[in-house]
Chain A
Amino acid sequence: MSKASTGVLGVFAHLDTATEAITRLRKSGYDSLTVYSPTPRHELEEALEVPESAVRIFTLMGAFTGSAAGASLAIWASLQWPLIVGGKEIIALPAFSVIIFELTILIGALSTVAGLFITSRLPRITRPEALYHPSFSGGNFGVFAHVGRDRFPAVSDIMTASGSEEVLLDQ
């Protein structure tokens, strides 16, 4: 989905006004929004109705890969030099379960992080996704509508009507 690079940013001091702006904008057909908040709030997620994040698939695949890697590493390496130690079998699964478990967690966790970075497009070295204001990590909420210049007045009106403290334009 390509988003318009221009748009209107509404700065909101309150959660309920920001939520209202999202609802009103979406009702008017402006679905391409970027919403900033200082802390995750379910109200915003519900107003946006964003689909479930794909991170969980990364976690699951990573964990399975880790189990397989742990099992194959321990089994294959033991078969390379099949020496009986401590009266245990060459392929001693109770002992290997620890290796399998640790690698499940390790690769599961690392691929969760990879999933987080990929799905949220981090690290973002280039220009931010939309106009940003430093107060969004403090106490303010922000709603950015990705729209063309011709829509600026209409969108600004919705922002102000919902209770935006300040409306900024990204030309």
Chain B
Amino acid sequence: MASEIRSVFHPDVKNYEQVNRDAMRLLTKPGPGYVALFGLALAMVAMAAVAFGYEVVYGLGYAGLTNPVGWGTFITTFVFWVGIGHAGTLISAILFLFRAPWRQSIYRLAEAMTVFAVLTAALFPIIHIGRPWFFYWLLPLPSERAIWPNFRSPLLWDVFAVTTYLTVSSVFFFIGLIPDIAAARDSTTVPWRKKAYTILSLGWRGSDREWKSFTRAYLFLAALATPLVLSVHSVVSWDFAVSVVPGWHTTIFAPYFVAGAILSGIAMVATIAIPVRKIFRLEAYLTDLHFDRMAKMLLLTSLIVGFAYSMEYFMAWYSGELFERDVFWDRVFGQYWWAGWSMISFNALVPQLLWFPKIRKNLRVFFIITIFVNIGMWYERFVIIVPSLAHSYEPWKFLNYHMSYTEAGILLGSFGWFFMWFLLYLRFLPTLSIAEIKEILPPPMRNAHHGDEHGQAVSGGRVAEALPTGYVTE
């Protein structure tokens, strides 16, 4: 019988309707735990708002920035959040182009995380400039004196890269949501939800004309987003690499940053997906196989990052450059030794535990490892930015940087801001990609004679599946 055929990725999902039911379970009235978490997130945002208000009223002096350390927590946190925002597009676009069927159930979560992470990141340059009301100076707007931004500056490239990334990833996220919002519209019974989903679904009905254009548009968006995601963190890395500061001025920065971004992004996806799976009982969708694949990706990127760390040291030593050698020595034995060692051990050493299948399967341990990576990746950016500035060239201008309370408040508040959006999304938009999960489920068939276990011959053996969809007979 047709109903006995299951997807190898989701053996516990019986049919199409079950996907709708399970996805709609999340779109219900939130419980007290949710309200408490949301309140906490709002309180953190309020704290950051107060800290930012102080900074605006009394000046940037409230941040711990001095000469020579002009870039501190704000820029560190900016790079951190942009990095977090890389996993979503990696999973949704790159794995889509590679036809990896395990992306289907996890990509929406990752993509939402991307949008909110970039939304968080985009605040930091504006906070950092100190006079946020002049942020439009960053944009190429005509002025009466015909003064344009400097297109030769990496900082302006970054403005273009980050705004493009925010726009394209939001668009990609919303386009993917349309069919699922339509599914939510069709099954919800709450009147205000019905109204909201009706508007947001743009009148989507799932007709052949709509699907035809949708699948092609999605493919092209993925094809455009793939080079974009690789470019964004490369451009962020050039903010540093193009300047002549020891510790920054290296050619490996672009791939090194991209690998780090994917490492931190995957870690954050897992950090979020593990509790979400447990709380909302999504074990049929986020299976052990999904976490195993994510753990392997984490391990791979951790190895790349570890390689980049050692190459940095090798190049500093091999160059024979006094200043370069000094900065790298200072990173692990100087004032900031604790940050340097945290970065190396959390990002390059701790994830090595994932070589063991037992640890990959143990989600508690995996969760703890992802927390280590999240912290380690913040330290990585801190170690790259602050010690290089605090310890460059002339000893008379060596000066240490200390994070101020204002900066700490804004840093913590950024997590509140991120989780505020994420919690709203969990309860109001479909977290499971209803239509895309159905793509890898065996379609309902009346005649069992298709009986092919791999779904290749479903329509008389004429065409192969678009996805390498594995089906098993239960």
Contacts and interface: CB of A to CB of B under 8 A. Distances in A.
A27 interface: no
Interface string A87-125: 010001001101101110110111011011001111111
Contacts of A139: 15-17, 20, 444
Contacts of A45: 208, 211-212
Contact of A136 (B148, B156, B171, B206): B206
Nearest to A84: B152
Interface in B101-125: none
B207 A34 contact: yes
A37 interface: yes
A54 to B, nearest CB: 8
Interface string B139-163: 0100000111111110011001100
A73 B140 contact: yes
A115 B164 CA distance: 19
B210 A110 contact: no
A53 B157 CA distance: 34
A37 B205 contact: no
Given A46-B459, A112-B220, A137 B212 contact: no
Give the dominant DSSP class at A's interface: helix
A40 B443 CA distance: 11
Interface in B366-413: none
Contacts of B185: 137
Given A16-B446, A86-B152, A98-B235, A112 B206 contact: no
Contacts of A78: 148, 151-152
A19 interface: yes
B452 to A, nearest CB: 13
Interface stretch (B79-87, B290-298, B418-426, B433-441): B433-441
A40 to B, nearest CB: 4
A98 B164 CA distance: 12
A4 interface: no
A39 interface: yes
B20 A95 contact: no
Nearest to A70: B160
B459 A106 contact: no
A53 B151 CA distance: 37
A124 B216 CA distance: 19
Interface residues of B, number: 72
B213 A109 contact: no
A102 B160 contact: yes
Contacts of B167: 106, 109-110
Nearest to B208: A35
> Of residues B168, B172, B182, which shows the largest number of chain A Cβ atoms within 10 Å of its Cβ?
B168
A46 B150 contact: no
Interface stretch (B222-230, B260-268, B302-310): B222-230
B209 A120 contact: yes
A24 to B, nearest CB: 15
A85 B171 contact: no
Contact of A163 (B168, B213, B446, B459): B446
A125 B200 CA distance: 11
A125 to B, nearest CB: 6
B179 interface: yes
Interface in B88-104: none
Contacts of A17: 446
B183 interface: yes
B445 A14 contact: yes
A134 interface: yes
B217 interface: yes
Contacts of B150: 85
A120 B212 CA distance: 8
Interface string B434-463: 111011000111110010000000110011
A138 B183 contact: yes
B158 to A, nearest CB: 9
A42 B464 CA distance: 9
A42 B466 contact: yes
Contact of A102 (B202, B212, B231, B447): B231
Contacts of B182: 137
- CB-based closest 10 A-B pairs: A124-B203, A139-B16, A123-B202, A39-B438, A77-B148, A134-B186, A116-B217, A137-B183, A15-B443, A14-B446
Given A95-B151, A109-B172, 7 more contacts: A16-B445, A38-B16, A40-B211, A42-B463, A53-B216, A78-B152, A105-B228
24 contacts: A15-B443, A15-B444, A39-B16, A48-B208, A50-B212, A55-B216, A55-B217, A55-B220, A63-B224, A77-B148, A85-B152, A95-B151, A102-B160, A103-B160, A109-B167, A109-B221, A116-B217, A120-B213, A136-B205, A136-B206, A137-B186, A138-B16, A138-B187, A139-B17
Interface of B: 2, 15-17, 20, 140, 146-153, 156-157, 160-161, 164, 167-168, 171-172, 175, 178-179, 182-183, 185-187, 202-217, 220-221, 224-225, 227-228, 231, 235, 434-436, 438-439, 443-447, 450, 458-459, 462-463, 465-466
